[in-house]
């Protein structure tokens, strides 16, 4: 499942997860996003995520987050990819 930046902006307090490395997150990120790097989520998603909640994931361009969302969905998580990732946010903020 995917969501655009414009659709994301209409949501009330979405659970946004930035899967980029912490250095990139610390330089700048979508307001309200939490940083959980890709590798941490792949290794142990249950440490960070609850299967009862919906999460919106992004990376730099949307490719890694799309693959991660597909994997998490197969494991029972409500994972939605933000189309275009952080680059789309920069263009639409």
Residue 81's domain comprises 2-92
**Higher per-residue confidence, 37 vs 92:** 37
Residues 24 and 9: their CA atoms lie apart, in Å, by 22
- Number of Cβ atoms within 10 Å of the Cβ of 39: 10
Residue 81: which CATH number?
Answer: 3.40.250.10
Per-residue pLDDT tens digits for 27-36:
999 999 999 9
Measure the CA–CA gap between 57 and 69, rounded to whole angstroms.
7
Query: What's the domain count of the chain?
Result: 1
Contacts of 32 (CB under 8 A, 6+ apart): 13, 14, 16
pLDDT in tens, 1-16: 999 999 999 999 999 9
- In sequence order, what E strands does 10-93 have? 16-18, 34-35, 54-58, 78-82
In whole angstroms, what is the distance from residue 80 CA to residue 93 CA? 19
């Amino acid at each position: 499942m995917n969501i655009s930046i414009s659709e994301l902006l209409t949501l009330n307090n979405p659970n946004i997860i930035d899967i980029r490395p912490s250095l990139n997150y610390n330089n700048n990120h979508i307001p309200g996003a939490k940083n959980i790097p890709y590798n941490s989520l792949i290794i142990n998603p249950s440490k960070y995520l609850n299967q009862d909640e919906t999460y919106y994931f992004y990376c730099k361009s949307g490719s890694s987050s799309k693959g991660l969302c597909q994997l998490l969905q197969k494991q029972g998580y409500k994972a939605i990819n933000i189309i275009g990732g952080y680059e789309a946010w920069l263009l639409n903020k």
